[in-house]
């Protein structure tokens, strides 16, 4: 069954990880897992200290060229297919500084949500997604 926007947002906000899809300049999809926080109609994620092959992240370059992104959360970790659901946020992303007012508020919210960030506060750029549309699907009415 199709989820309305409010229910899709609620399920999305409750998930612990999302998959961020952006487009490389040639139009090919680039998908990475991200941790995030939802504040009003925005989704925020920050570049953190987890080991990466480079600090020049493809997702940030992609967004600077084409801000259209989608983020997907889901519940498919169950053999009970009646419990399956997914939720997607489509929007426009931008990269903001971790020291900007909006960036500080986003990182504060991420620190509150993820205990790991209390020890290793993100210090990289912040990804801010203005959500245009929430959508989703569920095999049943109950989450």
Domain containing residue 93: CATH number: 2.30.110.10
Which has the higher per-residue pLDDT, 142 or 4?
4
| pTM over 0.75, yes/no | yes
108, part of any domain: yes
- State how many domains the chain has: 1
pLDDT digits (tens, 9 = 90+) for 73-120: 999 877 888 889 999 999 999 999 999 999 999 999 999 999 999 999
Residue 67 host element (H or E)? none
Q: What percent of the chain has pLDDT over 90?
A: 79
What are the residues whose beta carbons fall under 8 Å from the beta carbon of 119, sequence distance 6 or more?
none
Residue 135 has pLDDT above 90, yes or no: yes
Beta-bridge partners for 125:
none
Residue 13 host element (H or E)? helix 5-14
Domain that holds residue 45: 2-138
pLDDT band at 57 (very low <50, low <70, confident <90, very high): confident
41, part of any domain: yes
**Residue 59 · residue 30 · CB < 8 Å:** yes
143, part of any domain: no
Q: Between vectors from CA 125 to CA 75 and to CA 66, what angle results, nearest 5°?
A: 75
């Amino acid at each position: 069954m199709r989820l309305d926007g409010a229910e899709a947002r609620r399920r999305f906000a409750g998930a612990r990880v999302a998959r961020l899809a952006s487009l490389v300049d040639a139009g090919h999809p680039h998908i990475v897992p991200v941790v995030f926080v939802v504040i009003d109609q925005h989704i925020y994620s920050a570049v953190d200290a987890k080991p990466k092959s480079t600090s020049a992240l493809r997702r940030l370059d992609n967004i600077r060229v084409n801000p259209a992104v989608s983020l997907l959360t889901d519940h498919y970790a169950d053999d009970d297919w009646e419990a399956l659901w997914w939720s997607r946020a489509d929007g426009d992303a931008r990269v903001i500084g971790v020291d900007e007012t909006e960036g500080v508020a986003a990182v504060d919210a991420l620190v509150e949500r993820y205990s790991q960030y209390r020890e290793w506060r993100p210090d990289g750029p912040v990804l801010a997604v203005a959500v245009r549309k929430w959508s989703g699907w569920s095999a049943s009415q109950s989450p």
